[in-house]
Structure 1
Amino acid sequence: MSDGTGQTWPKGTVKRLDVLALGELLIDFCVSVEADGTPRMVGSAGGAPANVLAAVCRLGGTGQLVAKVGRDLFGDYLERCVKALGIDTTSLLRDPCRTTLAFVQLAADGDRSFSFERNPGADTQLQAHELHPTWFEQARVFHFGSLSLTDNPSRDATFSAIDMAKAADCIISFDPNLRPPLWRDLDEARSRISTAIALADLVKISDDEVLFLTGESNLDEGISRLRSAYPSVRLAVTCGAKGAIVDTDSGHVHIPSLPVVAIDTTAAGDAFLGALLYRLTRSDGVLRDAIWDDNLFLDAVSFANAAGALTTTKRGAMDALPTLPEILAHLPA
């Protein structure tokens, strides 16, 4: 069976990929101001699904990216970056639209605000007919975020990809990764994100996103409402410097983060999710069972917490992701 690029794998062979991710690959411009008041911008490779894959591959896993970039210098740069990280670019496509640009403003505590150049951006132009079933047949996990759901044709392509992933018996991973400036209407965002959660097996969601989706002012109540609405979805709730919360049959379990001095929180959530998927795919036995084994999942979240925290100690996205030895050095032996 061919994927249309010259590579052929017989159906039913052992899955060679830990994670296949679909979504935005873009340039993150970090915006800062020099002491003399001169503005400064430094660009680097980014985009949440690509960051997740970069984290998986940095730790020693395997990943492939389904994405579109422009036929421009930015697209050339991004392709070189993800290849250098070991990400399979078989499914990295080019489009006449320009590569999407994100501008990240850092606050004093390392937190971020975003603006985008995307009218439209190449990442929104992925089409369903460009997807190949063999990409999914080779993957254990299919991961996506909400930015590909903001516009067509990428929205329809994303839902087609989910269908292909389910047909290939992939675990479906989703990160809402809410970016309000990219949505025309936040009620629309809430609806589409809720639809995506219902299709997933595993969801990494931030505390702010829990409150956004549920309308609750209390986080524990919000998590409980999500668990009630999506009983077949395993939730990992990230809470920034406070760590993460996992909803188990025994109740909500809080796992603290590493104490670090954060200088840039860019990609911390992506590092968390990439490390979580890496750790889970290293479990013995059936991956779907590992996700619902509380002991295994809590161990994986502790590992992911360390990855997310360490990422905040460096500037940038993919460049800031920690290695396996760096994470293990901060975990109990």
Structure 2
Amino acid sequence: MKDLSRLQGKGFLIIGRAGMDFYADPPGTRLEEATRFTAALGGSSANIAAGLCRLGCDAALVTCVSDDAIGRYCLGQLDAYGIDRRHVRSVGGEARNSLAVVETRLQDTQSVIYRNGAADFAMTLADVEALPYAGFSALVTTGTVLAAEPSRGAAFHAFERANAEGLPVIFDVDYRPYSWASAQEASDVYSRAAALCDIVIGNDVEFDFMAGSAGKGLDKARYLLAEGAQIVIYKMGEKGAITLTPEGETRTGIYRTEALKPTGAGDSFMAGVLSSLAEGRDLAEAVQRGSAAAAMVVARVGCAPAMPTPDELADFMAQASMRPT
């Protein structure tokens, strides 16, 4: 069993996509009626990296971006958030960066994702083979990176290298159906990946999906714990979360907030939990801080730009109340 206190080194190696998000402006505008948009860094892994950096950690991203103006925009945004991009490679040809065109609306939110020829799927074994794993405190990835080759094989190789180095491996399920050839393939690959990880975080729908049956997600989470995961966090939206460890299960509520949109909660939750563990806080407090970060981000425009700073997070938690489980 790995020593999770290694996370206190605060240096995270994150595998996965960086992209561009377009938000219909002003908030509340429907996409089909929009005449103005604002741009921001996007992509689940890049969002997590931005959140970690905002909360005082170091984060290095491993991915590929397109060798064009959109790819260069993403590189510039990584720099702006203080994300180490030495392991980000530009690829030419027909590869294109992920683009999300989304609404800042709570009800009937529309999000149109462009992923044809996604540049991040071009990540290869060579991109992960020579990474300085021993110099980091944890390896983090999201499920999107596993949706296609060669990035799938590269990610699994990174898991093997990290495990060989005793590096905690953290997996955000992050299931996006549009990226996969079939639901069965995704379920099989995700289950294989989760079995290699020390911390697994996902929502009830994603765990149901991995289990292959509605209502069986919590059983799947318990199975992963029994098979070797040290922490499994089963998120349930407005119903809070269940944190599973070998010592037992703990239920946590959510913070009250005036939400503008449903997006960004998962990435901010991950950043809040990991940054708290990196500070040496106990798991229960880490989950509460992750929940607070999620509540803050859904009440703001964007994902990466909405991530809180330590002072903002502390102020929010001092003033906000948590709904009981």
**Number of the residue aligned with 2:16:** 23
**Number of the residue aligned with 2:289:** 303
- State the distance in 2 between where 1:101 and 1:266 align: 16
**Number of the residue aligned with 2:266:** 269
* 1:331 matched to 2:317: yes
Segments of structure 2 that go 5 or more residues without pairing to the other structure are 1-6, 320-325
2:260 alignment partner, SS class: coil
**Number of the residue aligned with 2:322:** none
**TM-score normalised according to structure 1 size:** 0.84
* 1:170 matched to 2:167: yes
- State the distance in 2 between where 1:111 and 1:51 align: 23
- State the distance in 1 between where 2:266 and 2:199 align: 14
- Aligned ranges 1:218-229 → 2 under 5 Å: 218=215, 222-229=217-224
Q: CA separation of 1:112/1:93 partners in 2, compared to 1, >3 Å: closer, same or farther?
A: farther
Q: CA separation of 1:278/1:110 partners in 2, compared to 1, >3 Å: closer, same or farther?
A: farther
Q: CA separation of 1:37/1:57 partners in 2, compared to 1, >3 Å: closer, same or farther?
A: closer
Cα offsets for 1:149-186 (capped at 9, x unmatched): 11111111111111121122211000110111111101
- Aligned ranges 1:1-333 → 2 under 5 Å: 18-31=11-24, 33=29, 37-38=33-34, 40-96=36-92, 97-106=94-103, 108-109=105-106, 112-218=109-215, 222-231=217-226, 232-233=228-229, 234-248=231-245, 251-283=248-280, 296-331=282-317
Give the CA RMSD over aligned residues.
Answer: 2.5
- State the distance in 1 between where 2:170 and 2:88 align: 20
More divergent stretch after superposition (32-41 vs 93-102):
32-41
- State the distance in 1 between where 2:111 and 2:59 align: 27
Q: CA separation of 1:34/1:23 partners in 2, compared to 1, >3 Å: closer, same or farther?
A: closer
- State the distance in 2 between where 1:216 and 1:187 align: 11
1:239 alignment partner AA: M
**Number of the residue aligned with 2:323:** none
| Deviation of the 1:251 alpha carbon | 4.8
**TM-score normalised according to structure 2 size:** 0.86
| Deviation of the 1:31 alpha carbon | 4.7
| Deviation of the 1:42 alpha carbon | 3.3
- C-alpha contact (below 8 Å) 1:104/1:112 kept by paired residues: no
1:83 alignment partner, SS class: helix
1:274 alignment partner AA: A
| Deviation of the 1:277 alpha carbon | 0.8
- State the distance in 2 between where 1:16 and 1:247 align: 24
- State the distance in 1 between where 2:43 and 2:137 align: 21
1:322 alignment partner, SS class: coil
2:308 alignment partner, SS class: coil
Q: CA separation of 1:136/1:39 partners in 2, compared to 1, >3 Å: closer, same or farther?
A: same
Cα offsets for 1:272-329 (capped at 9, x unmatched): 1011111111218xxxxxxxxxxx2111101111011101110111101111111112
**Number of the residue aligned with 1:10:** none
| Deviation of the 1:19 alpha carbon | 0.7
Segments of structure 1 that go 5 or more residues without pairing to the other structure are 1-13, 285-295
1:199 alignment partner, SS class: coil
| Deviation of the 1:250 alpha carbon | 6.2
1:211 alignment partner, SS class: helix
- State the distance in 1 between where 2:128 and 2:212 align: 36
Q: CA separation of 1:161/1:250 partners in 2, compared to 1, >3 Å: closer, same or farther?
A: closer
1:207 alignment partner AA: D
- State the distance in 1 between where 2:225 and 2:250 align: 18
**Number of the residue aligned with 2:4:** none
- C-alpha contact (below 8 Å) 1:207/1:239 kept by paired residues: yes
Q: CA separation of 1:114/1:198 partners in 2, compared to 1, >3 Å: closer, same or farther?
A: farther
More divergent stretch after superposition (271-280 vs 134-143):
134-143
Q: CA separation of 1:159/1:111 partners in 2, compared to 1, >3 Å: closer, same or farther?
A: farther
| Deviation of the 1:120 alpha carbon | 1.4
